[in-house]
Structure 1
Amino acid sequence: MPENKLVVLIAADTYPPDVNGAAQFCYRLAKGMGARGHEMHVLAARNNSGPSFTEIRPEAQVHRLRSHSIFTHPTYRLCYPWEIKREIALLFDRVKPDVVHIQCHYMIGKATIEEAVRRGIRVIATNHFMPENLNPFLPFPEWFLKIVAKNSWRDMGKIMGKAAVVTTPTPLAAKAMHDHAFLRKVLPVSNGIDAAAYEPKAGEEIVSLGGPSVLFAGRLAEEKHVDVLIDAMAKLPAELNAHLEIVGGGEVRPALEAQVARLGIGDQVHFLGLAPDEELRQAYLRASVFVQPGTAELQSLVSLEAASASTPLVLANAMALPHLIDGEKNGFLFEPGNSADLAEKINRVLSLPAEELKVMGAASRALAERHSMASTLQTFEDLYYGASYEDKIV
């Protein structure tokens, strides 16, 4: 336990029960820091209508702010500044945080960092977000979306630039923040993973689908490009008898189901919906290969989870995903949006002899172990206490 326990306030625009990588990271951060003896508080939007309230969860006190739904997104909630600024100030009075860790630069993150700076409280800012992630939910033409993204990047730099230290999960994500948000000092800190949690349990039997299993896990959103994966499945040799498992929910699921029916591969593609952690762990262990076709990933926690389960990876050669492929030892990159190239890379993995597939899976596990959650927690704890990690800033 630390000698000087800290009161830490995490401000996030998404938190469980939301299902996405940023929400999962915030939960793991709160849980891990709490286990180290710190008093943890999380500030996030409530998931339905009603006044602000506080819920006591095992990992933290979670302070839910009044929020409003938007017609363009099924789960995202807006917090109006004029409704939350006073509530955030009152929360600071009550909680008296020693350090604030914002996870976004929009409404909650902006209001929280402004209050912390006004009070002279140390702030760490972590970015999990690409402004382009919002494009599918904004009903505007392409030229206008580019203006929105440019302004969002600019605001990110202006707001997160007030923090003592700015972090993001990968060096490639840091470069994007250099280029677009003009943040010159960004510290890459992996989201972290507890690789041991994805090992088979003693005596555990994983039920096969009767053929090799291709797995995708994540939000069924436009920027994930799961349609490219479904097209690739239709192009695989029939003799492979490969099956695709899709874990997750989202707004494009009906379109994906229609695509599967149109291609006549309904017997090969299985939509599992939102799955509990244990079912997802078993899906990772069952998979012969994990595929991430998304093009806006700042790290991809699900890819790290799959790698932890010793599963080979096939990932889009986009944004931060290339850092999870170790010279083709643990899988392959494919051209984003190219279903023929994706099918060829999946076929290469599934056609490997069992021993070579096992070696590739072991290389995935070795890569995942470089992203230990213990190391991530130690880095953030050091930052909370005042470290700068100047030698690792890019």
Structure 2
Amino acid sequence: MSRIVVVSNLFPPVVMGGAEIVAHRQATALAAEGHTVAVFAGGYAEGEREPGSLTLESGNDFPIYRLALTSLHPSENFYRPEEERRFLSVLATHQADLVHFHNVAGLGYNLIPAAKAFGARVIVTLHDHGGFCFKNTLLRNDGRLCTDSEDCAVCLPAMGAAEGEILPIRMRRDYVAWCLSQADQLLSPSAYLAEAFASTQVVSRPVQHLSNGIPTTSIAVETKPAIPPIRFTCFSYLGEHKGIATLLNAAEALAQDPALDGLWQLTIAGHGHLGDGLTQDIAAGRFGTGVQFAGRLPHAEALACLARTHVVVLASHWPENEPVTLLEAIASGTAQIATRIGGNRELVDEDQSGFLVEPGNTTDLADAMRRFIQYPDLVQRFGTHNAQRRVRFDEAHTLDRLKTLYETLPAAAPEADDIVVVCAGRAPSPAFSRKLQMMLGRFHLAEDMDRRVRFVWHAWAGSSVWRQAQLLWLWGETGTAELPLVTRALRAGIPVLAPQDSPLADATKAGSVVGVYASLLEAVGQIAALQDMPGNQPGLSCAGTSTARFLNAIAPRASFHLPVRALT
């Protein structure tokens, strides 16, 4: 039997979202199997709980170490050294030989390499796009779906570091991707998300598809008489990415049709910042008597509500992974409506278990709801289809595969063939920062996607980063503060790349592998040429050749066109 620590940035009963429910179910099942289980989880700093404080919750099937989260902001939620120290104390207390991570934003992705350094085998279940999208949802600031994983700067060009420096957003993404690549196994509950990670080529470790499943023994099939009113239920966080506005617009359209009066009822269960507006809309009569807001429900009450539901509705605008609400609809024999995006398409058999609609399309969603109201026999037909296929999604299959994975997981997975560049320095001006952001934002144009370069800020670099580092890059203004980093690099035989006017340029000449550069373009060109070096051998290439390589890659295509007048 294994000694397992389950990690989740939120965990019941604090939050009952999909990822948290899955983490809780798996921890409970593993403990019931005889494994020694402990949970390291986050929670909100409320009441007398100070941010960063750690409390032990007892009275469960396993101990829960609950850390009051300090920040969920993208510039602060991915690297948390204080949380790492508390985490390592939990691993030591329980002598963990395996750590299973779920969502870690707020706890810090640095916990993953920390668990590896501790000596534990590491599995990460990916519940969203956090490995290559700092917003997790893959939605841009204007609500449109992002189609380019290299375009993070469109949403956030730069982020602040603890030292006061402004860093290109790519550095955050690189560090998160590097941390994930240290895991022995990455899992995705949906085939969609596994393919999304593979297609972006941001995270080098392959992702295996393993459905979370649903505990069918605890969810009974409920046959609902297909008589009015047809009861729709949306279990969701009340945020824009969940398509709440689209759902409410659809409900308003149904309420304005007098032929449907009294024939339908929509219940919205959940919490979020759109809740107050929903309450006001209901009170103002926007939906007639067709919509009720149940608020945040304990899971047992949510299942009781599901037992009274004819159709589960999920109107998300973002590509969901494997929504628990759609799995619960299958397990309970309930018809479905969901958006045609992400993992939803794997859980809805169109025109057999429910309808798929276009994200953000009010008319499409209202028409799907109207079909159930006008043809109530669809409720029982689609519900029966779900009940018949629920055995395929039984969580028991997932747990069997997890236990096999735990037993067969190698003690150490091979290291990813990434090129790690540790970065340090101080930007002398905002113009320098903007140029650096532009350079790193376009670096992928000269990058070998099979061997990614990871730009890691020195303050995030633990021993595991330094062990894989192939370059220390000093930029902007440098001085005595960076001297310990130079010393560490040279002692380890790691090349140092410094500005030619830096006082450290002369100090590094004692090293066997040293380079200087006159411009950021030249520096980035030399870094791009590292991909041509065999294996992980440190070294620097010719500045002229490598700079030309990068310049050619980022130049607009028009740069290579001769003007028409030159041909006449």
Please classify the TM superposition score into its range, dividing by the shorter chain length: 0.7 to 0.9
- Provide the residue aligned with 2:177 in structure 1: 157
Q: In 2 relative to 1, CA 184–53 (structure 1 residues): closer, same or farther, beyond 3 Å?
A: closer
> Higher mean Cα deviation, 332-341 or 139-148?
139-148
- Provide the residue aligned with 1:317 in structure 2: 340
- Provide the residue aligned with 2:241 in structure 1: 223
Count of residues in Structure 1 that have an aligned counterpart in Structure 2:
375
CA contact (8 A) 2:83 2:108 kept: no
Hey, what's the Cα distance between the residues in 1 that align with 2:218 and 2:382?
19
- Provide the residue aligned with 1:102 in structure 2: 101
Q: TM-score, normalised by structure 2?
A: 0.60
CA contact (8 A) 1:15 1:23 kept: yes
Which residue, 56, 62, 73 being the options, matches 1:60? 62
Report the alpha carbon displacement of residue 324 of structure 1 after superposing the two structures with TM. 0.9
Which residue, 401, 406, 428 being the options, matches 1:379? 401
Report the alpha carbon displacement of residue 208 of structure 1 after superposing the two structures with TM. 10
- Provide the residue aligned with 1:197 in structure 2: 218
- Provide the residue aligned with 2:291 in structure 1: 269
Report the alpha carbon displacement of residue 260 of structure 1 after superposing the two structures with TM. 4.4
Report the alpha carbon displacement of residue 318 of structure 1 after superposing the two structures with TM. 1.1
Tell me, yes or no, if structure 1 residue 14 matches structure 2 residue 32: no
Report the alpha carbon displacement of residue 198 of structure 1 after superposing the two structures with TM. 2.3
Structure 1 residue runs of 5 or longer lacking an equivalent are 389-394
- Provide the residue aligned with 2:450 in structure 1: none
- Provide the residue aligned with 2:541 in structure 1: none
Tell me, yes or no, if structure 1 residue 186 matches structure 2 residue 207: yes
Helix, strand or coil: the match of 1:45?
strand
CA contact (8 A) 1:324 1:367 kept: no
Identity %: 24
1:53-202 correspondence to structure 2 within 5 Å: 53-68=55-70, 81-104=80-103, 106-108=105-107, 110-131=109-130, 134=135, 144-145=154-155, 154-180=174-200, 181-183=202-204, 185-199=206-220
Hey, what's the Cα distance between the residues in 2 that align with 1:343 and 1:350?
11
Hey, what's the Cα distance between the residues in 2 that align with 1:116 and 1:336?
39
Q: In 2 relative to 1, CA 28–133 (structure 1 residues): closer, same or farther, beyond 3 Å?
A: farther
Which residue, 35, 38, 41 being the options, matches 1:41? 38
Give the superposed CA RMSD: 3.1
- Provide the residue aligned with 1:352 in structure 2: 375
Q: Which has the larger radius of gyration?
A: 2
1:355-366 correspondence to structure 2 within 5 Å: 356-366=378-388
Hey, what's the Cα distance between the residues in 2 that align with 1:43 and 1:152?
24
Structure 2 residue runs of 5 or longer lacking an equivalent are 144-152, 159-168, 411-568
Q: In 2 relative to 1, CA 262–78 (structure 1 residues): closer, same or farther, beyond 3 Å?
A: same
Report the alpha carbon displacement of residue 306 of structure 1 after superposing the two structures with TM. 1.9
Letter in structure 2 aligned against 1:130:
H
Helix, strand or coil: the match of 1:336?
coil
Hey, what's the Cα distance between the residues in 2 that align with 1:302 and 1:189?
18
Q: In 2 relative to 1, CA 45–302 (structure 1 residues): closer, same or farther, beyond 3 Å?
A: same
CA contact (8 A) 1:165 1:186 kept: yes
Helix, strand or coil: the match of 2:123?
strand
Q: In 2 relative to 1, CA 235–141 (structure 1 residues): closer, same or farther, beyond 3 Å?
A: closer
Q: In 2 relative to 1, CA 147–302 (structure 1 residues): closer, same or farther, beyond 3 Å?
A: farther
Report the alpha carbon displacement of residue 105 of structure 1 after superposing the two structures with TM. 5.1
> More relative contact order in 1 or in 2 (CA 8 Å, sep 6+)?
1
Q: TM-score, normalised by structure 1?
A: 0.85
Hey, what's the Cα distance between the residues in 2 that align with 1:107 and 1:156?
13
> Higher mean Cα deviation, 191-200 or 368-377?
191-200
Report the alpha carbon displacement of residue 292 of structure 1 after superposing the two structures with TM. 0.3
Letter in structure 1 aligned against 2:97:
D
1:327-346 correspondence to structure 2 within 5 Å: 327-346=350-369
